Amino acid sequence: MGLPASTVHRILLRHGLNRLAFLDRPTGRIIRRYERARPGELVHLDIKKLGNIPDGGGWRAVGRTAGDRNRQATTDQRKNSTPVIGYSYIHSAVDDHSRLAYSEVLANERQETAAGFWQRAQAFFTHHGITVDAS
């Protein structure tokens, strides 16, 4: 373009195009976050499965020998003489308008567990003055 970088930056800044991270690359439009008009209109639910870490740390943090020792000491569950540490599930609910979030770490993602989580999450939102319409 034959212009100094500082001049180009100033022009882009004036038009609100100063950061590539703010743009949708294929269209070049500025990304705007959507949100509902009022709190409780929509609550997003999600469950994330994460592997448990043995007490004292896993093998990546403390090395193979110490990690195996920690894994043996953490659990008495065995599968083919190999310790089974298992998984934890993070259940989360986020209000679309206020971004108020409620999360719990639970043992599974079964129907009864998820229903119990939803009841507690709904009570949490109600406590904060948000009446949930949809999820």
The predicted pLDDT at position 135 comes to 58
Closest CA to 53 of 70, 78, 32: 70
Q: What is the domain partition of the chain in residue ranges? A: 1-32, 33-127
The predicted pLDDT at position 115 comes to 96
- Structure confidence at residue 15 as a pLDDT band (50, 70, 90): confident
The number of angstroms, rounded, from the C-alpha of 26 to the middle of its chain's C-alpha atoms is: 26
Q: What is the mean pLDDT of residues 22-34?
A: 71
The predicted pLDDT at position 92 comes to 98
Which positions ≥6 away from 82 have C-beta within 8 Å?
A: none
Over the stretch 62-79, which tens digit does the pLDDT of each residue have? 999 998 888 888 888 888
**AA letter at 79:** K
Q: Is the pLDDT of residue 133 over 90?
A: no
Instruction: Count other C-beta atoms under 10 Å from residue 54's C-beta.
Output: 21
- Structure confidence at residue 20 as a pLDDT band (50, 70, 90): low
Report pTM: 0.68
- And the tokens for 70? 């920690």
Instruction: Count other C-beta atoms under 10 Å from residue 102's C-beta.
Output: 20
CA-based torsion, 45, 46, 52, 53: positive or negative: negative
